[in-house]
């Protein structure tokens, strides 16, 4: 269902006029659709059908407590990668038996925090981490369930090298190294090696790289079986992409689920972030000024890389549409830029679009994942509010920061 749609020429999110909210609350802000988040989660869950599975929503995509709450109510588990993320999911009273803890650099304190809360599984990325974990578990008199993250080196064809976690990245262990660990598992008295983890990258739109990885996982698991080691959990990470550009297709969920059906005797864990929340939100911003310089047109808006860094950091493409449908506006190659003192501060470069007027409102689409989450106070800008829409109702699920918030702790 299209939740962001024009009604009488004005953009709505579900049953709420975005122009009205902008008048009431000012700009910029993030606006999320409750029903879109539910729809995406349910679509994924249904596609997996009878494959024994647990979706552990990747908190790093968007950790707003209200959004975590929606997912908890849908039955989702959580993938956390820091003590802070664990703190947030415990705050919403998530079931610890549905929490996995990832990350290449967990501190002793974070490991202890996870152990004390009896989470489902730690995914370990180095031998040294495993030793530390075993030691802490011993001190706490616990037996801790662990998976090893394996980097099979498959090229995920993701959108940018910064979100490719395969060969040559810092993530996981090579398969032969991991195998040595599984084979000496009995040495670690306070660890139960119950799982295998392999996240290959993010914003992947084809099934092929997943399929290749699943086959490698499958033969790895079969070999372990021959050695008498039976794993309970296969954690295949996240990475399911969404169409950001007009010409991109939806992620082929059915094919993905078919590839996953290899794992009949284990429980499959998915750490999906972007697919669940990515297209559930827009960033609403106002055009402050329009100017031309050295033959280029600049549309200067009131939001920038401090609120949404994806275009600057990864050259990511986000559709930009008007809140009030424009007619008879000239189509001009424009640069949509923010107020930050960086040339790299932009939402779109050299993009053919109807040239808005000063004061017009624009929506930057598909900003529900890694949008607010990666925002900062750079240039001492206040962080912007997050608004959640449900039907005809909206609520502020995070307040706009005030100047006083900028000096907290200084
Ligand atoms: N599991 C692990 C171990 C991960 O590293 C990630 C993402 C996920 C799950 C969730 O991936 P997803 O389903 O959302 O693709 N900031 C970048 C994306 C970084 C992804 C980092 N890891 C962006 O804005 O595109």
> Residues 158, 204: contact at Cβ < 8 Å?
yes
With a pLDDT cut of 90, the percent of the chain lying above it is 93
Annotation: binding site for substrate: 274, 310, 314, 342, 370
Q: Which of 19-23, 101-105, 259-263, 325-329 has the lowest mean pLDDT?
A: 325-329
Q: Could you tell me which CATH number the domain at 4-32+278-407 has? A: 2.40.37.10
Report which of 366, 365, 383 is spatially closest to residue 374, judged by C-alpha positions: 383
> Which residues, other chains included, contact 364 with Cβ-Cβ below 8 Å and sequence gap of 6+?
282, 283, 285, 303, 308, 318, 319, 320, 347
| Per-residue pLDDT reduced to its tens digit, 266-323 | 999 999 999 999 999 999 999 999 999 999 999 999 999 999 999 999 999 999 999 9
- Residue 165's pLDDT is 77
Atom of ligand 1 nearest to the CA of 278: 14
Which pTM value belongs to this model? 0.97
| Cα atoms in the Cβ-side hemisphere of radius 13 Å centred on 381 | 21
| Per-residue pLDDT reduced to its tens digit, 140-181 | 999 999 999 999 998 888 778 787 777 778 999 999 999 999
CA nearest ligand 1 atom 19, residue = 163
Domain coordinates in residue numbering, the chain: 4-32+278-407, 34-277
- Residue 328's pLDDT is 86
> Which residues, other chains included, contact 378 with Cβ-Cβ below 8 Å and sequence gap of 6+?
305, 306, 340
Atom of ligand 1 nearest to the CA of 204: 15
Q: What is the mean pLDDT of residues 17-39?
A: 98
Other C-beta atoms within 10 Å of 290: how many? 16
> Residues 365, 18: contact at Cβ < 8 Å?
no
Distance 136 CA to ligand 1 centre (A): 28
- Residue 156's pLDDT is 83
Respond yes or no: is residue 382 known to be catalytic: no
Q: What is the mean pLDDT of residues 126-143?
A: 97
d(CA 177, CA 213): 17
| Per-residue pLDDT reduced to its tens digit, 326-372 | 888 999 999 999 999 999 999 999 999 999 999 999 999 999 999 99
d(CA 22, CA 34): 19
13, 266, 341, 382: which one is catalytic?
A: 341
- Which of the listed residues 40, 60, 204, 369 should we mutate to test ligand 1's pocket, taking the one with most ligand atoms within 8 A of CB? 60
Annotation: binding site: 239, 271-274, 310, 314, 342, 370
In CATH terms, is domain 34-277 a member of 1.10.3720.10?
A: no
Q: In the predicted model, what is the mean pLDDT of the chain?
A: 96
CATH topology agreement for domains 4-32+278-407 and 34-277:
no
Annotation: binding site for pyridoxal 5'-phosphate: 239, 271-274, 370
Band of pLDDT at residue 385, cut at 50, 70 and 90: very high
Atom of ligand 1 nearest to the CA of 160: 25
- Residue 277's pLDDT is 99
- Residue 39's pLDDT is 98
CA nearest ligand 1 atom 16, residue = 370
Distance 59 CA to ligand 1 centre (A): 9
Distance 341 CA to ligand 1 centre (A): 28
What residues flank ligand 1, with Cβ below 6 Å? 58, 60-61, 79, 102, 163, 199, 202-203, 237-240, 271-275, 310, 314, 369-370
């Amino acid at each position: 269902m299209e939740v962001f749609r024009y009604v009488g020429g004005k953009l709505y999110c579900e049953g709420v006029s975005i122009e009205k909210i902008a008048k009431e609350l000012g700009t910029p802000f993030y606006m999320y659709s409750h029903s879109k988040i539910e729809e995406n989660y349910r679509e994924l869950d249904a596609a997996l059908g009878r494959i024994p599975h647990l979706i552990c929503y990747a908190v790093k995509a968007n950790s707003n407590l209200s959004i975590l709450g929606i997912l908890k109510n849908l039955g989702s588990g959580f993938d956390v990668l820091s003590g802070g993320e664990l703190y947030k999911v415990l705050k919403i009273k998530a079931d610890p038996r549905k929490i996995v803890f990832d990350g290449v650099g967990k501190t002793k304190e974070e490991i202890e925090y996870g152990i004390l809360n009896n989470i489902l599984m730690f995914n370990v990325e180095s031998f040294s981490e495993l030793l530390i974990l075993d030691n802490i578990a011993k001190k706490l008199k616990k037996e801790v369930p662990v998976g090893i993250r394996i980097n099979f080196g498959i090229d995920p064809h993701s959108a940018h090298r910064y979100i490719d976690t395969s060969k040559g990245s810092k993530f996981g262990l090579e398969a032969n190294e991991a195998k040595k660990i599984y084979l000496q598992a009995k040495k670690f008295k306070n660890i139960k090696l119950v799982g295998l983890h392999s996240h290959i990258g993010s914003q992947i739109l084809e099934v092929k790289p997943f399929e290749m990885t699943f086959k490698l996982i499958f033969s790895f698991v079969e070999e372990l079986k021959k050695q008498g080691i039976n794993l309970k959990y296969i954690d295949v990470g996240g990475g399911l992409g969404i169409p950001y550009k007009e010409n991109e297709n939806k992620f082929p969920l059915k094919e993905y689920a078919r590839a996953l059906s290899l794992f009949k005797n284990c429980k499959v864990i998915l750490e999906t972030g972007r697919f669940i929340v990515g297209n559930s939100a827009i960033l609403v911003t106002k055009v402050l000024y329009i100017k031309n310089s050295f033959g280029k047109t600049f549309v200067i808006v009131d939001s920038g890389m401090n609120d949404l860094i994806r275009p600057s950091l990864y050259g990511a493409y986000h559709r930009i549409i008007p809140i009030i449908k424009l007619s008879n506006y000239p189509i001009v190659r424009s640069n949509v830029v923010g107020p930050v003192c960086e040339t790299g501060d932009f939402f779109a470069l050299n993009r053919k679009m109807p040239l808005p007027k000063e004061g017009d409102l624009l929506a930057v689409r598909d900003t529900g994942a890694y949008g607010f989450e990666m925002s900062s106070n750079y240039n001492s800008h206040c962080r912007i509010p997050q608004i959640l829409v449900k039907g005809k109702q909206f609520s502020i699920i995070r307040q706009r920061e005030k100047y006083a918030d900028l000096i907290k702790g200084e």
